[in-house]
Structure 1
């Protein structure tokens, strides 16, 4: 495990070192510590208008998409977990069916366009609002909750909505935290739908901006000659490394807060079918 972790962390440290280095660093060598330290690469990336707008768009999409997807998933999974729900097996099979078959790219594009969602954050949130896989995991978790807890709430006069918010959700934090992590990471890393539905460059998410900088170069996205220090040597590779770190670090910082719930939520949610 130590060796495996080292192979995972090693490229990350190399990119971090490259992002904090000047253009004088030999690109043919691997460094874990910057030979010549500088913040100029991050300053250039964080002051770029495309990176700033992309970061705001990605943050908006991640927060809005995660909140709506989590709410829709919980509200759909809770009724399906009840044995007395009419035609529960049919609706569960109907939802699982969508995991294997979809309408395809062109029908999805025409649907989003005809609904007037182009160049809107709703084009990135609504089409994938509910994941069938996450719904099944949440349903299985809710099925594992003892029915006696809900029966005690009904004896006290609580209806299904009160039971859901006051009994079920508080004891379901492991699966809720797990689903939140999955959804947040999925929205943060998504880029293809933005590439299709966003025709305005100011509406593109951060990952599309990063893709253009890393794959297409920095000439059209960055002005490498506009640094304050004329003696500072920069190159596109250090700018690319800084861009990668800007897109990675925010979502990595999200993991420690949900790590203690992650394993328990996945294991308990996968026990019952």
Structure 2
């Protein structure tokens, strides 16, 4: 028998929905403001009072033309290279390390785990880190972005716990049929740990996409800069000369520079917003499987 909802309960639900909708609008509006501003006409936008913007002030794609040409376009391409190649390298190293630490019978497994976990809490510092990369000859190369920060200890520990939950009997049965460790890893363990793999993959991809400090430290050539360094320059500088090469009055140049800031933010944020919904469902199960061992 279904109970009827009382008037007080119905009123509470209505007020609750209104309140949550209001909070949602507050959280969503800053992003909408950036999107509307990026599509605005520079001359009309610069005259706006900047308090509330419910639609583009005029309409123009001028900012996006500048984002996808020149240095910003090369920065976007470099970021894609760093994300794809860096995430692939990170996942491979994480798979190999997690497999060794998760299987029974491997020599020095516990001491090796302690050494790896030690790096989560202590490091040599920024200056020794730079000197090390410089001695390896990786300064001002793509390898300085891809290799030094390739492995995240926390992600590997989560992956190790997920791999350890795979029954040992499956691995033993596969080895009796002649399977190697690589076969067991890539054809048995990884397919059975898809949730954790998806979560760790997203962690690495987002970290690579947002990464800018290693590029600041190790890169000298602007043709190797990721998008985040150009975005940082745009957001920190008040001069439009470094962004656009266009004549006209200073007010027009400043207005265009302001619009380019918003367009760059949209371009740098959009890929993560597109990918995130497809892997969101794996978050709870992936982290719980990889973070709790019974």
Q: TM-score, normalised by structure 1?
A: 0.91
- 2:189 alignment counterpart: 168
Unpaired segments ≥5 residues, structure 1: none
Secondary structure (helix, strand or coil) at the match of 1:249 reads: helix
* Aligned counterparts of 1:232 and 1:194: Cα–Cα separation in 2: 28
* Aligned counterparts of 1:28 and 1:146: Cα–Cα separation in 2: 59
Secondary structure (helix, strand or coil) at the match of 1:107 reads: helix
* Aligned counterparts of 1:56 and 1:6: Cα–Cα separation in 2: 33
Within a 5 Å distance, the mapping from 1:171-210 to structure 2 comes to 171-210=192-231
Secondary structure (helix, strand or coil) at the match of 1:269 reads: helix
Contact 1:22 1:233 in 2 (8 A): no
- 1:263 alignment counterpart: 284
Shift of 1:157: 2.6
- 2:62 alignment counterpart: 40
* Aligned counterparts of 1:159 and 1:2: Cα–Cα separation in 2: 55
Q: Which has the higher helix share?
A: 2
* Aligned counterparts of 2:157 and 2:268: Cα–Cα separation in 1: 30
* Aligned counterparts of 2:261 and 2:222: Cα–Cα separation in 1: 19
Secondary structure (helix, strand or coil) at the match of 1:83 reads: coil
The higher radius of gyration belongs to 2
Shift of 1:178: 1.0
Unpaired segments ≥5 residues, structure 2: 1-19
The 1:233–1:86 alpha-carbon spacing in structure 2 relative to 1, beyond 3 Å, is closer
* Aligned counterparts of 1:134 and 1:247: Cα–Cα separation in 2: 24
Contact 1:21 1:36 in 2 (8 A): yes
- 1:111 alignment counterpart: 132
Contact 1:66 1:187 in 2 (8 A): yes
- 1:58 alignment counterpart: 79
The 1:52–1:218 alpha-carbon spacing in structure 2 relative to 1, beyond 3 Å, is farther
The 1:143–1:5 alpha-carbon spacing in structure 2 relative to 1, beyond 3 Å, is farther
- 2:40 alignment counterpart: 21
